Amino acid sequence: MRKIVLITIGVIEILIGTVTLIGCFAVQTWGLPGVSVKPENVYIFVMASAGVSFILGIGILLGREWARKFLIIFSGYIVLTKLLIFSGLLSFTGQIMIMVPVRIKDLISLIYHALLIIILACIRQKARQVPDE
């Protein structure tokens, strides 16, 4: 069961990263009807976050303990950001693509990342140990 959960999380993170990287690049490079090109700082932030998701997904699939720990930290950051958005203390108006209403997207992200923290905190990956020489 543990292995299936980790594979699922890894695949989801890779998909989030891939779709976001391709979508952002397409919008910023070629533009899409009805989708505005965003400021460079927003674009860089979204691309960096997508890259992190992609790399962490690969790390999770490869069974790397560092990926599990960093994904817990990254998810904590996302949860904190979403809570600040819902409380009205933070506003982020630079979404690259909005296919789902922003409030629903933020709620889904909050729930997903909160669940990731719980699941990954309970699952310890087997660290690959190098035998002492």
pLDDT tens, the chain, 133 aa long: 888 999 999 999 999 999 989 988 888 888 777 666 777 887 888 899 999 999 999 999 999 999 999 999 999 999 998 899 888 887 766 555 556 677 888 899 999 999 999 999 988 755 444 444 4
CA distance 119 to 6: 9
Alpha-carbon distance values, 105 to 11, 37, 61, 120, 122 (Å): 19, 20, 25, 22, 26
Q: What is the pLDDT of residue 34?
A: 67
Structure tokens that stand for 17 in this block: 């990263």
Structural domain spans, the chain: 2-122
